[in-house]
Amino acid sequence: MLAMASAQSDTPFLKTAMDVFARATTNSEVLSLNLSGLIILLVLKVAVVAFSLMSGGATARSGVSTYSEADLTGGMCFILYTSGDESKLNCVARAACESTENAADFLTAAKLWYKVHNIIKAVPFNEKYNKVIDVVEAANNLGKSGGECSKFGW
């Protein structure tokens, strides 16, 4: 009974993971896009950490991961979105709404990346990601104000 309750989690983590895996195994081009999306997520996280260290806002953290199931599902949805499944943008927004602190960190990194792109044209930035930034920012603000995150589907 306990296993059944945990299997019926509100976040479709397992289903999203299976979608990512299914796409990765069907076509090597899709796999490279998924890896590109993963690299973008990692670069954004490094940018957040670097920004916090330079701004003096660094604090000691434990080695325990602070990512929730919603964060991980949102990350996989972002990978699927970058692979061409535009319907996954709602899933990314839902994760941002439910996990406002981590979404705010990623927004800070994305905006910093965009500013660096505007200054140094050699830094790549696809304009389609402005839409992602806008949607994630709106969802993050909704979550911070205590709004209903279920308006965004998984």
Q: What is the pLDDT of residues 23-44, one digit of tens each?
A: 665 555 545 556 677 777 777 8
Query: CA 31 to CA 132: how far, in whole Å?
Result: 21
Q: Which of 71, 76, 93, 81 is nearest to 128 (CA)?
A: 81
Higher pLDDT, 139 or 63: 139
* pLDDT interval class at 136 (50, 70, 90): very high
CA dist 80 → 57, 69, 92, 121, 143 (Å): 32, 17, 10, 27, 23
pLDDT digits (tens, 9 = 90+) for 70-117: 888 888 899 889 888 899 999 999 999 999 999 999 999 999 999 999
pTM of the model: 0.63
pLDDT digits (tens, 9 = 90+) for 4-24: 344 345 777 777 877 777 766
What three-state secondary structure class fits 148? coil
Count Cβ atoms below 10 Å from residue 79 Cβ, excluding itself: 25
